[in-house]
Amino acid sequence: MPAFAPRASPVNIRSRYRSRCTSPCSRPRSRLRPPRRPPSRPKPTDCFPPRSSNGAPGNRVGSARDGRDLRSGRRSTFRAGVLGDIGGFGGLFDLSGLGYEQPVLVSTTDGVGTKAIVAQRAQRYDTIGIDLVAMCVDDLVCQGAEPLFFLDYVAIGKLDGEQMEQLVSGVAAGCRVAGCALIGGEMAEHPGVLQPGEFDLVGFAVGAVERGRIITGRTVVPGDVVVGLPSPNLRSNGFSLARRLYFDVAGRALDDPAWDGADHSVADELLSPSVIYAPAVRALIAQIEVRIERRGNRRGYFVSCSEWVTLTNERCCESSTWA
């Protein structure tokens, strides 16, 4: 017969369970120490910073931090058709009181290109907003449209109240010249994408023209008169090449004379504001039939002939006839 181990003595399971439950070491912690209070939750209103004038509708982020209110500059551009005040989620404009019979809206958007880099290096931001307006509204009048309102978008690396004030005041100045209302805008801070001091500008312009007076260029014929409006500077085009020639090839600095004997600096020359041709061209449209318009990037503004080329792709201007 196989040998069996001695039988263990019977165990009282109930008593063992009772001893575990009553052991001081096995008691729940809640019986050994008072329960901790849960951390107080912040009130919903504590999740937001105190309301300041910066949060007032119509103020750009950062302008109120330095005690600046840019709304007055924008209001100075208001014209007939603007509804309400600054501060809504969108700008309102009413065409009904402007005397149009069959109005057609014309929209355009543009920027200032790498001219912004020159402004950053010179730390001068008061004129480049004028360039932005010029790039947009001069495209509107190419189709015969009257500029009505304008919106701007400013992307910036780090908020700077002084910089923002100069940028937006320049846009407002350009709108006053063009006769359009600055009815809205947006500022976005892009840390990690743009460095402190860096910025980019984008403009949006909307105009109106009578359906029967839209300029398309289809009626251009040989013999039409070409009217050219000169530009005293580069406007906002060709600055990548200009920067390379001035700074990399010629080794010039921003505070150097623009040329030998010049009474102004390289920065003055490069940052001189663009001419806004819209008022002059609109006055011309009101007096004569304009068949085509083109904004020359570096030459200026041309009326009645498409980039010096007729429908036969031949030059329409002889140098001997230019006055």
CATH number of the domain where residue 72 is located: 3.30.1330.10
Whether the CB-CB separation of 156 and 199 falls below 8 Å is answered with yes
Average pLDDT of 187-213?
A: 95
Assigned domain for 33 exists: no
Average pLDDT of 95-104?
A: 96
**Rounded Cα–Cα distance for residues 204 and 209 (Å):** 17
Assigned domain for 246 exists: yes
Lowest mean pLDDT among 53-57, 82-86, 133-137, 292-296: 53-57
Average pLDDT of 182-208?
A: 95
Assigned domain for 28 exists: no
Assigned domain for 288 exists: yes
**Rounded Cα–Cα distance for residues 76 and 120 (Å):** 27
Report the C-alpha dihedral over residues 225, 230, 235, 237, rounded to 10 degrees: 50
CA dihedral over 117, 265, 280, 169, signed as positive or negative: positive
**Rounded Cα–Cα distance for residues 293 and 315 (Å):** 16
**Rounded Cα–Cα distance for residues 104 and 83 (Å):** 19
Assigned domain for 25 exists: no
Number of other residues whose CB lies within 10 A of the CB of residue 291: 18
Name, in order, each residue with C-beta under 8 angstroms of 300's C-beta and a sequence gap of 6 or more.
Answer: 228, 229, 230, 231, 275, 277
Assigned domain for 24 exists: no
Average pLDDT of 61-68?
A: 43
Q: What domain range includes position 98?
A: 59-85+92-321
The chain-wide mean pLDDT, for the chain, equals 79
Lowest mean pLDDT among 81-90, 194-203, 258-267: 81-90
**Rounded Cα–Cα distance for residues 258 and 267 (Å):** 8
Lowest mean pLDDT among 36-45, 48-57, 67-76: 48-57
Cα distances (Å, whole numbers) of residue 195 to 56, 158, 189, 278, 281: 27, 7, 10, 35, 39
Count the domains in the chain: 1
Q: What is the pairing mode between strands 92-93 and 82-83?
A: antiparallel
Question: Is the pLDDT reported for residue 119 higher than 80?
Answer: yes
Assigned domain for 5 exists: no
Assigned domain for 187 exists: yes
**Tens-digit pLDDT profile for residues 247-293:** 999 899 999 999 889 999 999 999 999 999 999 999 988 887 887 66
Question: Is the pLDDT reported for residue 95 higher than 80?
Answer: yes
Buried b (16+ CB within 10 A) or exposed e, 21-41: eeeeeeeeeeeeeeeeeeeee
